[in-house]
Structure 1
């Protein structure tokens, strides 16, 4: 867990007082959903995100928050990233080739260079993955990359890496695209002035407040259109909106449906709704009372009125989910019967669990839009079955690290990722972000079998079985999925409205331009 010491985020007044000159020019970017005239690169884009205070980092392999991931994307690259359909897209990897038994994967690297001019080498890739998976590491991608037998992996030449795996892994390119699997220069030890291969070069950073990067003219995927990217932090959604309206920023991340509707029709801002991006749920820790009783977890499954939450929290701008992650994604078990609120069944399960009249701490926060509102609504619903869910508002700067180890019930939110990544990062015994403490050897065995087969039908069947187990016994309750809402000034172009959060083209500021 990160240190508790935090500096306060910018106040609304202080945030709105930010000033920076923006040169307005532009050119069209591939995949842009808006037109804005002929190419004319230049200018500074100022983007507002919520953040994590003084504990924010520039180490891309330790990035957890959306603002940290956006900065990491600006400065660094991965071997692959997820496309808008959640399939892996080559990035620093030019191509990959598996062996017939899926235990060896050969990666050919692109011709790319770090910001200091050093060429990207196979040794940098091996060193980066060794750092992620080193003993004692809790880096996000560790559990995914731990399948690699690094001592027996090798450089074939400067631009070719051969990964030997501990076991067959049919979806290994997903590991290359995992959150946090960024490539660093070999021997990187600090991030005071980070060096990557990304489209922007580091200029300055004040944790919890500001970040500035400048155009990398030598980026392997083409130079950015912007001269400068500035990311500013405020955890107040209204402040982000007001800064956009007042011209202090040109991009505001994570808006509520209310704000989007209020300002969209006025023409003051452009609203971008990124589909199937924002999964909302609860995380119950299954290794400790009272949620070590499966009956109580099932009681919550039957308690929650998903339709009402979509109406009240999303204000209709979303869809109900069915307690398993990844609605609409490949391998999603859409044949499971849709759960609906059943208070009689929920009451009976509470009695079976011996939990009648029990008070349970329910952690939530203003760290993410809708998190607190959902917790209050679910707490009200729980009164009808004799449970008292005591809503506790946590520190929005430290919320995600706090709930990882503490408490028993918490509001949860996730961006998009393939089902395979959701399983490997959150639900295996070795997962480093296992917030529900779900540890089942038989579940792990099914996952490993799914990865060892080249038979797509068999893999789909194993994933269906795993989701059915989670549907009945798991610690996650996914009640809804909403669009991710961002907004930009009218003169901003190149934002891809098709890209879910956490994918390649989300927060893709190297393709944004100003007009």
Structure 2
């Protein structure tokens, strides 16, 4: 039985409800946090055993606090945009694939995939799985879902990711086999199956907020937009039933509300905590702090199509000005690792054999002089749109001054920052959440990329990308991706100074939370594998 969408909530327990926390600014990570929380049952076991250690225990309700989006929230998985949306969607629905901790695609509803010799046709075989109404997940459901996402009249987030697929030509060979016809060779096609928001829904599904039917680990109970969503265990889940009886995803819009609710026992999981909060509570015994490494690239984006950064000597000088450790320590409060001017540290295909850059102010001054840029004056755009941006801008301004560069820091609007800096200005603070390195190339670094913040447009680079996507052998493909990264390391427009940890807090009774899964990957917010000790 399903409850009504707008059930009663005791607002007196949950202060601060209205600040949005967007999941992807410039293709990145959520900027703000907020939570309001509902109390419920404790961790009593319905069956199984509990030893307080590593053996999962069945039963109980987990209450998880996330930033939300207010009254406009929906359970339509193709409209996911916030972290809370993503957590709700993966509780109810499945994708054909999802990203592992190294951002390589791993099978989910797809049991296997196989390309033809030309890499422009892929055969996907579905595993045996059922929707919550008992109907099997079929190839027709898959094609329906992808065609719905690709509808030109809709603004579904995964639409751009599905662009390489010719959905008119793609077909269901039988109930559990889909033949995808592609517009061009695509060796990394599994990344498309794992794309954010590419969930599989039943053919003809429409009422997502009152009676959503998915194939995920939890079944729908109730939903109040901007406040709470309640789910119960799906005992027939293809990947094994969750340990929990119930899951409640609750919304509050200030980090202090999340932390206080966790400390007060009103929730057992609090998403998106600050480094300051983590330092204050780590090792104190009240709550557990979980750090998810390599979750957010932190960078400065230089526009390579305009002065002064159209001169690669100036870009190299800026690479050598940056003291990355000082930036990580100051802007991220030490909650992260230094970068090396490349996206995707720790991810599949990352070029980790390149020499780690160190500050070299003498060399930077020499390069600037050769470029005729002595006494260079540049405006650095920043905003409070993301944690650490204004701090990073101030730190880098002081670092640049030591090389004779005068940086003027300009603080923009949080509401329009990403759009303003995509095409305007010459230098800006930038960050990105987890995605495959191949997707970073295709979305940001090709001549036709729509979110090309550095205006990096080179036909030979585009050709290398096409070569990689046409290369069937993975080792050979990795070599091409390595060439592309070496080019970016030498003369690209992203000065990648760090990779921020994503920080969660849990009650001490919570077990099974993945500690090495970057945000937006399979094991992040995966509550079917969590239990209460």
Q: For this structure pair, what is the TM-score category when the shorter chain's length is used for normalisation?
A: 0.7 to 0.9
1:9 alignment partner, one of 12, 16, 19: 19
Task: Identify the match of residue 489 of structure 1 among 487, 504, 507.
Answer: 507
What is aligned with 2:12?
none
Equivalent of 2:356, from 338, 343, 350? Answer: 338
For each residue in 1:455-478, what CA deviation from the matched residue of structure 2 results, as whole angstroms up to 9, or x when unmatched?
Answer: 334322211221122223333221
Pick closer, same or farther for the CA change 1:37–1:158 going to 2, 3 Å. Answer: closer
Give 5+ residue unaligned stretches, structure 2.
1-16, 22-33
User: Which of the residues 468, 474, 478 maps onto 2:492?
Assistant: 474
**Inter-partner Cα distance in structure 1 for 2:467 and 2:38:** 55
Report deviation, 1:298: 3.9
Contact 1:26 1:225 in 2 (8 A): no
The answer to whether structure 1 residue 390 and structure 2 residue 409 are counterparts is yes
- Between 1:218-227 and 1:16-25, the stretch displaced more is 16-25
**Which residue is equivalent to 1:321?**
339
Q: Which residue among 110, 116, 120 is the counterpart of 1:99?
A: 116
| Equivalent residue, structure 2, for 1:362 | 381
Conservation of the 8 A alpha-carbon contact between 1:365 and 1:399: no
CA contact (8 A) 1:450 1:459 kept: yes
| TM-superposed deviation, 1:493 | 1.3
Instruction: Find the partner of 2:320 among 280, 302, 313.
Output: 302
Deviates more, 1:89-98 or 1:337-346: 337-346
Structure 1 position 267, deviation (Å):
0.6
Aligned match for 2:99, one of 82, 104, 109: 82
Of 429-438 and 219-228, the range deviating more from structure 2: 429-438
Change (3 A) 1:335 1:513: closer
Report the number of matched residues: 500
Residue 71 of structure 1, aligned match among 88, 92, 99: 88
Match of 2:25 in 1: none
Q: Distance in 2 between matches of 1:347 and 1:52?
A: 47
Question: What do you get for the CA RMSD once the two structures are aligned?
Answer: 3.4
How far apart, in 2, do the equivalents of 1:350 and 1:319 lie? Answer: 28
1:427 aligns with 2:424: no
State the partner residue of 1:20.
39
1:162 Cα deviation (Å)?
0.7
Of residues 130-139 and 270-279 in structure 1, the stretch that sits farther from structure 2 once superposed is: 130-139
- 1:58 to partner: Cα distance: 3.9
Which residue number in structure 1 is paired with residue 8 of structure 2?
Answer: none
Distance, in Å, in 1 between the alignment partners of 2:155 and 2:289 is 36
Write the deviation string for residues 55-101 of structure 1: whole angstroms up to 9, x where unpaired: 65544334343333222212221101122233322111111122233
CA–CA distance in structure 2, aligned partners of residues 495 and 343 of structure 1: 43
| Partner residue of 2:463 out of 445, 459, 470 | 445
Distance 1:297 1:152 in 2: 45
Give the SS at the match of 2:132. Answer: coil
The equivalent of 1:149 in structure 2 is 166
Contact 1:282 1:410 in 2 (8 A): yes
Cα separation, 2, equivalents of 1:411 and 1:56: 29
Q: Describe the superposition over 1:240-290 as per-residue Cα deviations: whole angstroms up to 9, x where unpaired.
A: 222211222211122233322321221101122223333222334445666
Cα deviations by residue, 1:97-154 (Å, 9 ceiling, x for unpaired): 2223322211111222333444322122122222333447665444443222222211
- The CA distance in 1 between the partners of 2:20 and 2:123, in whole Å, is 47
With 199-208 and 104-113 compared, the bigger mean Cα shift is at 199-208
Where 1:221 maps in the other structure, the secondary structure is coil
Q: Which moved more, 1:77-86 or 1:189-198?
A: 189-198
1:346 offset after TM fit, Å?
A: 4.3
Counterparts of 1:25-174 in structure 2, within 5 Å, are 25=44, 35=53, 39-43=57-61, 45-52=62-69, 58-135=75-152, 139-174=156-191
2: CA distance between counterparts of 1:187 and 1:389? 54
Deviation at 1:409, TM superposition (A): 4.2
C-alpha separation in 1, matches of 2:447 and 2:224: 36
CA distance in 1, matches of 2:125, 2:472: 22
Q: 1:257 to 1:308 in 2, by over 3 A?
A: same
Quick one: distance in 2 between partners of 1:157 and 1:509?
A: 33
When normalised by structure 2's length, the TM-score is 0.82
Contact kept? 1:364, 1:375, Cα under 8 Å: no
